[in-house]
Structure 1
């Protein structure tokens, strides 16, 4: 991580030893802008964007372009802005964690995205010509998110995650379970059949693959900072 050359007034170490960018006036704006961009590459938001574009256009290319574009712009922008915010704090004083309230707000945004996904799919099912592919793919995506969140919830519980982190994961997990179940139930008798299994699996695999890529990228960047 590049150290900032300009002088920044940090709280005295005897008063507050470890700091988060939200504690530093010069870094706060950068961190929050990075936080908002990070919402663009969260899995629920990416899936919601893809679902809306697919239903609106019935165009697979447009759907992939919207989803991948959101993922790329959000990830690159958030990483750069967040890294610049952390540059204001010497590495030895950087707080591991923090911003708990913002984690819960992020979970609420993700939960809203999940509601959008469910609403789009239900509207599609209720329309004159429901698209089985949309229903199956989004349901599979929901299952993929449930699996990802269940894994993160278990890992957090195993390692004693802080209160805000656990609350965030529970909010998102509950929202995904409810939305996915609602979509699946609405599709009973109108969409489901043996022919949709492959599409459901593709939706789940897409989400899981995206999350694995994100985990690998995050791990690589973290190791790079420690090197």
Structure 2
């Protein structure tokens, strides 16, 4: 049987059997590009974009569809780049459990700060506008749903004792919760929202989050077999 010639120089398996794309100059650029696009293709950034487009558009369709198209494209490109980066490495040598503490924390901060800014900009713009009381219900419903989902995920990770992920998720949850709390707090008098008003936005976010989870799991299986 002919031996297969490696096109990429991998570390000696005797000294480092498991390899991550960050270990290889050729794969590192693709992996980092996919990582950045993966941040864009998250429910938090989607909600931040929705809040922005909700403020600048004059209908209920554009704020939902335009951010959705943007995050879908980012997710597709990011997944393609990430898959290409892992393809440099034989699957049996994939270091899937590599701890990337700094990148994990940075990603959490970027996503939470994006949502923080998006919600506050939206509420600052709408505060002096003559809109119907339910105009803010969609983005605020999505924000409230994100807080609940993130809190649930944090509890699960606490049970599993994933210390690094827990720290970054706790920071992210705190930032997002403060943003949502402020957004509700600056609602003008007469525009208070009942819990039922938040349900449509929460339902949209739940659907986006579920789709994101399924997509992430499918891509992980494709990348690592």
Q: How does 1:25-104 map to 2 (within 5 A)?
A: 25-98=25-98, 99-104=100-105
Match of 1:202 among 186, 200, 203: 200
User: When the two structures are superposed, what TM-score results if normalisation uses the length of structure 2?
Assistant: 0.88
Q: What residue in structure 2 maps to residue 111 of structure 1?
A: 112
SS at match of 1:189: coil
1:6 is displaced (CA, Å) by: 5.4
| Match of residue 154 from structure 1 | 155
Give the deviation of 1:224 after TM superposition: 5.0
Q: Root-mean-square deviation (CA), in Å?
A: 2.2
The 1:33/1:153 distance shift into structure 2, 3 A limit, reads same
Deviation at 1:80, TM superposition (A): 0.8
Query: 2-side partners of 1:31 and 1:225: how far apart?
Result: 12
Distance apart, 1:225 and its partner CA: 5.5
Counterpart position of 1:213: 211
Tell me the TM-score normalised to structure 1 length: 0.87
Size of the aligned set, in residue pairs, is 221
Q: Residue 140 in 1 paired to residue 141 in 2?
A: yes
Shift of 1:162: 4.1
**1:223: how far off?**
4.3
Q: Secondary structure at the match of 1:60?
A: coil
Q: Is the 8 A contact 1:133 1:199 kept in 2?
A: yes
Distance 1:35 1:88, change over 3 A: same
| Partners of 2:19 and 2:95 within 8 A in 1 | yes
5+ long unaligned stretches in structure 1: none
Is the 1:103–1:168 contact (alpha carbons within 8 Å) kept by the matching residues of 2?
Answer: yes
Which shifted more, 169-178 or 117-126?
Answer: 117-126
Deviation at 1:185, TM superposition (A): 1.5
Cα deviation for residue 222 of structure 1 reads: 3.8
Q: CA separation in 1, counterparts of 2:136 and 2:161?
A: 37
Cα deviations across residues 102-157 of structure 1 (Å, max 9, x unaligned)? 11111111122122222123213421424533422221111111122112212212
Q: Deviations over 1:2-26 (max 9, x none)?
A: xx97511112223322221111111
Structure 2: stretches of 5+ with no match in the other structure: none
- Please tell me whether the aligned partners of residues 146 and 177 of structure 1 are also in contact (alpha carbons under 8 angstroms): yes
Aligned partners of 1:124 and 1:131 also within 8 Å? no
| Greater relative contact order, per chain length (Cα 8 Å cut-off, separation 6+) | 2
